């Protein structure tokens, strides 16, 4: 079976900005949207047009500058929001209206205070109304993972028949587990009569640390769009990390049989820019984009890496924007790693005995100091050259 394309829908500028503590100006959003375009995401959700004047302006500016991605804005399922959204994305060569309405019994009863039939009617009306402005309409069933299946399936069919071209099934509260979330997507795709007329999308939150796993389960089950953010930022514990999803699909292509259009060597620079503009630093041990992700300190690992990098690395750093790998010298490092690094500093020991005694001094130093700079390493040579 030929590899199939997964649409990468980036919501760093909308759900990502909903992270408590983040506030992006229109200027920040334009700069970040340009970086997302260079990364070659397929869809940029630039904000929520009806939420504030500044967000409306930011989305309109992004829409007028971004030529290679679809630009999208979130919208509640009400006419005023949809009109504002349509205006905000109008100048984009490809614009999308993203309508959201809750479908779980809990949300319908307590938040919307509506009967399920009213919600279904409102959803269909909103999609038909949005189609007056655009033929690229996404409908999100908020809290889909806690919704009653027969009702959800009926509503999904109704919004597709009304003209929605993408249907998203958010795990809004991050409660789903992979088998279950994948099962939800698989069953909807199989049972909704109009399913072949829309792209199904995953939107997962990380409250249990399962957002990436759930998103991957969804595409394995037939979804062809994933909604995600750079560095996994987003409401509460965040969204699925774009960089982890993209590299999982690429590194395990033989398992998924899927691919994305992402230019992966832009992942690290884009992550660093998002960290600077949001003020949310990237943890050193974060997969793909953390500074330790391609570093090796233990002696056993360094020895393996020097013999064949595949022993301890499943990806090459340069594929995501880092140097291929780095051997970091610390108290866990071994003689081979030390000697290789010293060679890169231009130091060649004349005998094994010279190397051994310099290595002994290095171990003592590494025990007392956490970060060893090149200058520190050079002090370990002593008179042994």
> What residue ranges bind Zn ion (CB under 5 A)?
15
Find the shortest distance in angstroms from Cβ 160 to ligand KIV.
17
Closest CA relative to residue 243, chosen from 233, 253, 260, 231 = 231
98 and 138 Cβ atoms separated by less than 8 Å:
yes
Find the shortest distance in angstroms from Cβ 277 to ligand KIV.
20
* Range 58-77, binding ligand KIV (CB under 6 A): 74
Write the CB contacts of 292 (distance below 8 Å, at least 6 apart in sequence).
Answer: 284, 285
* Closest CB to ligand KIV among residues 139, 359: 139
284 and 291 Cβ atoms separated by less than 8 Å:
yes
- Determine the size of the site formed for ligand KIV (CB under 6 A): 9
Q: How many CA atoms lie within 13 A of 184 on its CB side?
A: 32
Closest CA relative to residue 229, chosen from 186, 185, 188, 277 = 277
Find the shortest distance in angstroms from Cβ 182 to ligand KIV.
18
130 and 89 Cβ atoms separated by less than 8 Å:
no
* Range 142-161, binding ligand KIV (CB under 6 A): 142
Q: Measured between alpha carbons, how far apart are the two ends of the chain, in Å?
A: 59
Tokens of 89: 């994305």
Place of tokens 């069933």: 141
Residue 60 interacting entry, from ligand KIV, Zn ion, none, C-beta within 5 to 8 Å by type: none
Residue 99 pairs in a beta bridge with: 75, 139
Please give the Cα distance from 329 to 234 (Å, whole number).
35
Find the shortest distance in angstroms from Cβ 7 to Zn ion.
17
Write the CB contacts of 248 (distance below 8 Å, at least 6 apart in sequence).
Answer: 212, 216, 256
Residue 100 interacting entry, from Zn ion, ligand KIV, none, C-beta within 5 to 8 Å by type: ligand KIV
Q: How many CA atoms lie within 13 A of 315 on its CB side?
A: 24
Q: What share of the chain is helix, strand, coil (3-state, %, to 5)?
A: 50, 15, 35
Binding-site string for ligand KIV from residue 294 to residue 323, where x marks contact by CB under 6 A and - marks none: ------------------------------
* Closest CB to ligand KIV among residues 85, 333: 85
Tokens of 356: 């051994």
Measured in residues, the chain has a length of: 385
- Whose CB is nearest to Zn ion? 15
One residue of 37, 140, 225, 333 binding ligand KIV per CB under 6 A: 140
Residue 10 interacting entry, from ligand KIV, Zn ion, none, C-beta within 5 to 8 Å by type: none
DSSP for 72-122? EEEEESSHHHHHHHHHHHTTSSSEEEEEEEE-SHHIIIIII---HHHHHHH
Binding-site string for ligand KIV from residue 264 to residue 293, where x marks contact by CB under 6 A and - marks none: ------------------------------
Tokens of 283: 């943890």
Find the shortest distance in angstroms from Cβ 87 to ligand KIV.
20
Binding-site string for ligand KIV from residue 168 to residue 207, where x marks contact by CB under 6 A and - marks none: --x-x------------------------------x-x--
* Closest CB to ligand KIV among residues 100, 156: 100
Residue 142 interacting entry, from ligand KIV, Zn ion, none, C-beta within 5 to 8 Å by type: ligand KIV
Find the shortest distance in angstroms from Cβ 206 to ligand KIV.
11
Find the shortest distance in angstroms from Cβ 264 to ligand KIV.
25
Is residue 100 a contact point for ligand KIV (CB under 6 A)?
yes
Find the shortest distance in angstroms from Cβ 224 to ligand KIV.
17
Distances (CA, A) of 3 to 40, 224, 239, 254, 362: 18, 12, 26, 9, 50
Is residue 15 a contact point for ligand KIV (CB under 6 A)?
yes
* Closest CB to ligand KIV among residues 229, 302: 229
- Residues near ligand KIV (CB under 6 A) are 15, 74, 100, 140, 142, 170, 172, 203, 205
């Amino acid at each position: 079976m030929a590899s199939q394309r997964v649409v990468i829908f980036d919501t760093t500028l909308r759900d990502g900005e909903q992270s408590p503590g983040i506030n992006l100006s229109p200027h920040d959003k334009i700069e970040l949207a340009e970086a997302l375009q260079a990364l070659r995401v397929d869809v940029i959700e630039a904000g929520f047009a009806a939420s504030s004047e500044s967000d409306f302006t930011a989305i309109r500016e992004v829409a007028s500058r971004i030529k290679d991605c679809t630009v999208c804005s979130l919208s509640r399922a009400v006419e005023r929001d949809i009109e504002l959204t349509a205006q905000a994305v109008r100048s984009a060569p490809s614009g999308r209206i993203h309508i959201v309405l809750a479908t779980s019994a809990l949300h319908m009863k307590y938040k919307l205070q509506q009967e399920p039939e009213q919600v279904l009617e409102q959803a269909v009306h909103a999609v038909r109304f949005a189609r007056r402005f655009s033929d690229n309409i996404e409908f999100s069933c908020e809290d889909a993972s806690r919704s009653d299946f027969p009702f959800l399936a009926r509503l999904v069919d109704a919004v597709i028949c009304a003209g929605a071209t993408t249907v998203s099934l958010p795990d809004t509260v991050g409660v789903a587990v992979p088998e279950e979330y994948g099962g939800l997507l698989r069953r909807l795709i199989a049972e909704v009569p109009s399913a072949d007329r829309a792209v199904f999308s995953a939107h997962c939150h990380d409250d249990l640390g399962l957002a990436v796993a759930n998103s991957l389960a969804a595409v394995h089950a037939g979804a062809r769009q994933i909604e995600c953010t750079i560095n996994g930022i987003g409401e509460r514990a965040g969204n699925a990390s774009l960089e982890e999803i993209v590299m999982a699909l690429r590194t395990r292509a033989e398992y998924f049989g899927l691919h994305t259009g992402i230019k992966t060597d832009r992942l690290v620079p884009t992550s660093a820019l998002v960290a600077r503009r949001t003020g949310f630093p990237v943890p050193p041990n974060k997969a793909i984009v953390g500074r330790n992700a391609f570093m090796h300190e233990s002696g056993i690992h360094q020895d393996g890496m020097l013999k064949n990098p595949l022993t301890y690395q499943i990806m090459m750093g340069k594929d995501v924007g880092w140097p291929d790998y780095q051997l970091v010298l610390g108290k866990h490092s071994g003689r081979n790693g030390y000697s290789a690094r010293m060679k890169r500093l231009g130091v060649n020991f004349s005998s094994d005995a010279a190397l051994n005694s310099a290595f002994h001094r290095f171990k003592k130093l590494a025990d007392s100091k956490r970060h060893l700079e090149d200058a520190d390493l050079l002090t370990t040579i002593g008179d042994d050259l």
